[in-house]
């Protein structure tokens, strides 16, 4: 049923842990595709020791989005499930996805939940909770607070291909961009419990790169302006609620990191959008926060 696609770049020490989490899955109807994105740390030598348990694809370094797309083009499963090489799945992850897909008669798009962690000891506290889900006709009908990581997304392979997969740009937020392009895909299910993904936090993660975060946010803004996302004017409000959910923290973190010009640019570019969704707390609070940061204070965020 599943093609598990894992992009990796110079993370051989973490990749082995990610794969170990797959071998512990209680549900076994899956294939594993690892896409090496031009690693130089012995990743391919390690993969060669796995006796064909994974399909290995290679490319020059183009970023995780392009690597996931390459894996998807070579996949055989009905559904694509993405796992980053620095993250882990709990043993019940694929079984949970399969149960949800059967219960909702084959939705096009499923999202799961994650638990951030730094040390492995934190994961030992995570137990398999009873299944709790919310189903919708499509993603746009879901609460805009849906939180994504690349490994939170399970999608029908042909639907993924129809929207041209992940953006090949080397940015952060490519998962958010994909979710918006899947906005009207038939059937969206959000898994609330159990937690299926261990979301590793470490200094080498692109999630900590402010430049990549800003470029990802700009991609969301520009894609909306160019009409990339489906739904037209009738679904614009839903799209704006989702996009501004990501622009607000990016603008705030910019001024907190003494990047005033970048923060203000995001503020003014999305000012009209925030007026439309009546986000007055942010509109009024941001200038005050920017002034406080300029004077050396670090107030709490007003999102």
Q: Are residues 116 and 167 in the same domain?
A: yes
Bridge pairing between strands 88-89 and 197-200: antiparallel
Residue linked to tokens 């797309």:
69
Q: What is the structure's pLDDT at 145?
A: 53
Looking at 204, 227, 260, which one is the last position of a domain?
Answer: 204
Closest CA to 107 of 30, 49, 51, 184: 184
Is residue 302 included in any domain, yes or no? no
56 within some domain: yes
194 within domain boundaries: yes
d(CA 233, CA 215): 25
**Could you give the number of structural domains in the chain?**
2
CA-nearest of 99, 91, 94 to 131 is 99
Give yes or no: residues 243 and 148 share one domain.
no
Classify residue 50: in a domain, yes or no: yes
The pLDDT value given to residue 131: 97
Provide the total of helices (H) and of strands (E) in the chain, helices listed first. Answer: 12, 11
**Could you tell me the CA-to-CA distances from 208 to 58, 203, 204, 247, 250 in Å, in that order?**
26, 7, 8, 16, 12
Q: Is residue 301 part of a domain?
A: no
Same domain, yes or no: 172 and 252:
no
On whether residue 299 sits in a domain, the answer given is no
**What is the structure's pLDDT at 301?**
54
| Unique residue bearing structure tokens 């007003």 | 302
Q: Are residues 49 and 197 in the same domain?
A: yes
- Are residues 176 and 213 both part of a single domain? no
Residue 208 pLDDT: 63
Domain boundaries, position 255: 209-294
Closest CA to 55 of 70, 33, 38, 31: 33
70 and 178 inside one domain? yes
Any residues with CB less than 8 A from the CB of 60 and at least 6 apart, and which? 38
Enumerate residues 6+ apart whose C-beta is below 8 A from 104.
Answer: 133, 135, 187, 189
The answer to whether residues 189 and 230 belong to one domain is no
Query: 217 and 180 share a domain?
Result: no
Q: Identify the three-state secondary structure at position 210.
A: helix
Q: Both 87 and 227 in a single domain?
A: no
157 and 66 assigned to the same domain: yes
Residues of the chain with pLDDT under 70: 144-151, 202-208, 298-303
Last residue of a domain, one of 148, 170, 204: 204
Whether residues 101 and 25 share a domain: the answer is: yes
Distance of CA 23 to the CA centre of its chain: 23
Judge whether 164 lies within some domain: yes
The reply to whether 276 and 167 lie within a common domain is: no
| Residue 303 maps to a domain | no
Pairing of strands 30-36, 55-58: parallel
- Output the CA torsion sign for 157, 4, 36, 206: positive
pLDDT of residue 302: 52
pLDDT attached to residue 295: 86
Q: What is the pLDDT of residue 173?
A: 86
Q: How many CB atoms lie within 10 A of CB 96?
A: 25
CATH classification of the domain holding 87: 3.90.550.10
Which domain-ending residue is among 161, 188, 204? 204
Task: Give the separation between CA 185 and CA 79, rounded to whole angstroms.
Answer: 14
């Amino acid at each position: 049923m599943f093609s598990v696609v894992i992009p990796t770049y110079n993370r051989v020490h973490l990749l082995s842990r990610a794969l170990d989490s797959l071998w512990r899955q209680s549900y076994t109807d899956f294939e594993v595709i690892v896409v090496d994105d031009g690693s130089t740390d012995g990743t391919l030598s390690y993969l060669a020791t796995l006796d064909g348990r994974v399909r290995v694809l290679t490319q020059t370094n183009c970023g995780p989005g392009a690597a996931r797309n390459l894996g998807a083009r070579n996949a055989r499963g009905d559904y694509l499930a993405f796992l980053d090489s620095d993250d882990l799945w709990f043993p019940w992850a694929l079984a949970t996805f399969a149960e949800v897909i059967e219960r909702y008669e084959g939705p096009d798009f499923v999202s799961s939940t994650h638990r951030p962690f730094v040390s492995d000891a934190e994961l030992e506290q995570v137990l398999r909770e009873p299944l709790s889900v919310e189903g919708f006709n499509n993603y746009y009908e879901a609460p805009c607070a849906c939180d994504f990581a690349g490994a939170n997304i399970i999608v029908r392979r042909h639907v993924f291909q129809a929207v041209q997969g992940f953006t090949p740009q080397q940015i952060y937020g490519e998962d958010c961009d994909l979710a918006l392009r899947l906005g009207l895909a038939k059937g969206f299910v959000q898994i609330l419990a159990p937690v299926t993904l261990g979301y590793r936090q470490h200094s080498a993660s692109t999630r900590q790169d402010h430049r990549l975060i800003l470029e990802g946010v700009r991609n969301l803004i520009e894609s909306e302006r160019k009409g990339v996302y489906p739904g037209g004017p009738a679904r614009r409000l839903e799209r704006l609620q989702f996009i501004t959910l990501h622009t607000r923290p990016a603008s705030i973190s910019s001024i907190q990191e003494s990047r005033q010009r970048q923060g203000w640019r995001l503020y003014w570019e999305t000012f009209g959008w925030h007026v439309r969704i009546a986000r007055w707390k942010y509109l009024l609070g941001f200038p005050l926060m920017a002034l406080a940061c300029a004077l050396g204070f670090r107030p709490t965020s007003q999102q």
